[in-house]
Amino acid sequence: MAVLPAPGLAVLVTAWAFSTAAPSLLAATNSYHLAQAYLDKYYTKKGGQQIGEMVSRGGSSMVKKLKELQAFFGLHVTGKLDQPTLEMIQKPRCGVPDVANYRLFPGEPKWKKNTLTYRISKYTPSLSAAAVDAAVEMALCAWSSAVPLTFVRTDVGEADIMVSFETGDHGDSYPFDGPRGTLAHAFAPGEGLGGDTHFDNAETWTLGMNGFNLFTVAAHEFGHALGLAHSTDPSALMYPTYKYQSPYGFQLPKDDVRGIQALYGPRRTFLGKPTVPHIPPHGPSTPEHCDSSTSFDAVTMLGKELLFFRDRIFWRRQVHQPLGVRPSTTTSSFPQLMANVDAAYQVAERGTAYFFKGPHYWVTRGFQMQGPPQTIYDFGFPRSVQRIDAALHLQEAQRTLFFVGDEHYSYDEKKRKMEKDYPKNTEEEFSGVNGQIDAAVELNGYIYFFSGPKSFKYDTEKEDVVGVVKSSSWIGC
């Protein structure tokens, strides 16, 4: 097993930029300014904090730092600011786009399977458990969107990637160092400690721009946990300088995509869209999804597609696609947050969709999250409501109905306010619709209610159910 953290490197490359001492090291004032300008340009990221700032307190000598730098860039290690080092500094870094800058670990360790489990075993006082879960999930998703890897969360036993927040000495011979300095470390793919990812509990972890953004650091560490070493491309996630990255709409930089695909190959689907036509693995149908008891947790339009959610899976189909054509299924590419959603709806005019899970909801544009989870009480639900069974957006009326138990609430999307006189009894309002509503969607002027294995077609003009079909028929079963 490769034990990776050699905390020197990440730290030293940038520490140099902040050193005002030891000009004797530098051949000439000219070179010194050149080097300074270089470092300012490539190692100072606006809005980003530098590892150098974190560890600018003394320690190793400048010669050693320079050696590390030279080793990192594959130069002859002299410890002096010599000609090749100067040339490297003068080289236009961004002018050579096709050079691969990513690095793999010696021996190129990688995971030998495509489904990896992860478990968050210890949390941090800095953030809520839900926030940690979300950041970790999104950081893994950043990688799984590029390669055919699937991450499955577990809450028990030993997972491939054990994620934990640790303080000081924590039993792996890489003790943490208190605030700043080392933020986290990860072990390369392998048995035992392999893949395990530790975060220094002494840091102030955040979901925003202050302190250290957990998504940013986690995404970098998971790169290590999947087999990537540091990149020399300053725009790469695996470049050893901290730079805040927003998880929303995050796109894995090209160099990291190249690196991870060198290990695992490209993914067939990206953000749920197959990049090649979907071929069902076992003949024309996958019966386990097709039994007559199929029900859905949520159904919504998303863009021009109809999405059906159940557990960790969703199916997608074009509305006008004839029935009988199998929609594709995917579990991994859609943010895992979307697993086990309770309800979902889209407001087409806004181009936004809303997904509900317990007392939280997420806003998306297409498949892209627009912000952190928010609480459903923003909508004006009473505290007694802790989850929603179904959400139904009525386009014409600009209302969204939320179904909870045998009642429903009506939300005015224009005023963004819950309507008074609600909740109302669902069976009384929608005659013929009985049983608990799992999901609902409006299509071509009809409302489709999903209740267990049945779906009701409800005619709003006749105010009655005009058809009942098996829920499974919607996904081509």
User: Active-site residue numbers?
Assistant: 221
The single residue among 166, 200, 389, 442 that binds Ca ion, judged by CB under 5 A, is 200
Q: Contacts with ligand TQI in 29-68 (CB under 6 A)?
A: 51
Pick the stretch among 121-129, 239-247, 384-392, 409-417 that binds ligand TQI (CB under 6 A).
239-247
Beta strands in 86-233 (DSSP E): 115-122, 150-153, 161-166, 184-186, 197-200, 205-206, 212-213
Rank residues 185 and 258 by Cβ distance to Ca ion and give the closer one: 185
How far apart are the C-alpha atoms of 6 and 430, rounded to whole Å?
65
From the list 139, 101, 135, the residue with the least C-alpha distance to 228 is 101
Q: Which residues bind Zn ion (CB under 5 A)?
A: 172, 174, 198
Which does residue 306 bind out of Ca ion, Zn ion, ligand TQI, none, counting CB within 5 to 8 angstroms by kind? none
242 forms part of the interface with ligand TQI (CB under 6 A)? yes
**What is the number of helices (H) and of strands (E) in the chain?**
9, 27
Residue 141 interacts, among ligand TQI, Zn ion, Ca ion, none and using kind-specific CB cut-offs from 5 to 8 Å, with none
Using CB under 6 A as the binding rule, whether residue 69 contacts ligand TQI is answered as no
Residue 7 interacting entry, from ligand TQI, Ca ion, Zn ion, none, C-beta within 5 to 8 Å by type = ligand TQI
Q: Is residue 181 a contact residue for Ca ion (CB under 5 A)?
A: yes
Q: Which does 172 bind (CB under 5 to 8 A by kind): ligand TQI, Zn ion, Ca ion, none?
A: Zn ion
Task: Report which of 86, 88, 64 is spatially closest to residue 74, judged by C-alpha positions.
Answer: 88
Binding of residue 217 to ligand TQI (CB under 6 A): yes
Q: State the CB neighbour count (10 A cutoff) for residue 200.
A: 25
Q: Furthest-apart CA pair in the chain: how many Å? A: 89
Instruction: Name the nearest CA neighbour of 176 among 207, 159, 194, 197.
Output: 197
Distance CA 103, CA 260 (A): 10
The residues, ordered by sequence, that sit 6+ positions from 371 with a Cβ below 8 Å of its Cβ are 248, 362, 363
The full length of the chain comes to 477
Alpha-carbon distance 224 to 284, whole Å? 39
Q: Which residue from 177, 406, 412, 427 is in contact with Ca ion, where contact means CB under 5 A?
A: 177
Identify the residue among 67, 185, 316, 317 touching ligand TQI (CB under 6 A): 185
27 residue type, one letter: A
Q: What is the closest distance, in whole angstroms, from the C-beta atom of residue 26 to Ca ion in the complex?
A: 30
Name the minimum Å distance from CB 361 to ligand TQI: 30
Q: Which is nearer to Zn ion, 174 or 411 (CB)?
A: 174
C-beta of 159 vs 217, nearer to ligand TQI: 217
Is 4 an interacting residue with respect to ligand TQI (CB under 6 A)?
yes
Q: Which residues contact 158 (CB under 8 A, 6 or more apart)?
A: 119
Q: Which is nearer to Ca ion, 9 or 34 (CB)?
A: 9
In this structure, what token pair is assigned to residue 60? 């190793």
What the block records as the tokens of 117 is 């489990």
Q: DSSP label at 327?
A: P
Task: Read off the tokens for 476.
Answer: 């081509």
Total interface residues for Ca ion by CB under 5 A = 4
Residue 104 makes contact with ligand TQI by CB under 6 A = no
Please, which of residues 76-95 interact with ligand TQI by CB under 6 A?
Answer: none
What is the rounded CA–CA span in Å between residue 45 and residue 43? 6
Does the protein bind ligand TQI through residue 241 (CB under 6 A)? yes
Q: Mask 27-66, x = binds Ca ion (CB under 5 A)?
A: ----------------------------------------
Q: Which is nearer to ligand TQI, 65 or 224 (CB)?
A: 224
Part of the chain binding ligand TQI (CB under 6 A), chosen from 212-220, 289-297, 437-445, 457-465: 212-220
Tokens 């028929």 locate to 473
**Residue 201 burial (CB count, 10 A):** 19
CA dist 74 and 67 (Å) reads 10
Q: Which residues of the chain form contacts with ligand TQI (CB under 6 A)?
A: 4-7, 9-11, 51, 182-185, 216-217, 220-221, 224, 229-230, 240-242
**Residues in touch with Ca ion (CB under 5 A):** 177, 181-182, 200
